[in-house]
């Protein structure tokens, strides 16, 4: 059952993702003049994805996935570290979670 606290957190989370979108919505284009192309009326541009805070071309995808999950109620306030650790282990990837000191021992045992 949604609570006011969760609703506030959700609005704040979506707001942060929207702010990131506004900050990096326009990927910089860099003109790459190639005479062989230009003589045929072709202009070539490269997208500079390094301007994202992560420096990754996957930045937009991750932002979209989080926004989609938030809007569908799949991500809520609280820890997702246990589930993330599960999938990291499943895929053979290293995973480090930072948790508050009072995290329950039962949760840590997973």
CA–CA distance, 25 with 57 (Å, rounded to integer)? 12
CA–CA distance, 95 with 83 (Å, rounded to integer)? 11
Confidence of residue 43 (pLDDT cuts 50, 70, 90): very high
- pLDDT given for residue 44 in this prediction: 94
Tokens of 23: 């900050």
pLDDT at 80 over 80: no
- pLDDT given for residue 1 in this prediction: 46
Cα dist from 4 to 8, 10, 17, 18, 89, whole Å: 6, 10, 20, 21, 35
Lowest mean pLDDT segment, chosen from 11-15, 60-64, 79-83, 97-101 = 79-83
Cα–Cα–Cα angle for 67, 1, 9, nearest 5°? 40
pTM of the predicted protein model: 0.57
């Amino acid at each position: 059952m949604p609570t006011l606290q969760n609703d506030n957190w959700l609005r704040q989370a979506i707001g942060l993702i929207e702010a990131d979108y506004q900050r990096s919505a326009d990927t910089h284009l860099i003109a790459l003049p190639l005479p062989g192309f230009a003589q045929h009326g072709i202009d070539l541009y490269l997208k500079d994805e390094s301007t994202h805070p992560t420096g990754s071309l996957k930045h937009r995808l991750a932002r979209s996935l989080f926004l989609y999950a938030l809007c569908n109620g799949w991500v809520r306030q609280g820890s997702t570290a246990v589930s993330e650790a599960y999938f990291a282990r499943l895929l053979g990837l290293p995973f480090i979670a930072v948790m508050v000191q009072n995290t329950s021992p039962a949760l840590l045992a997973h």
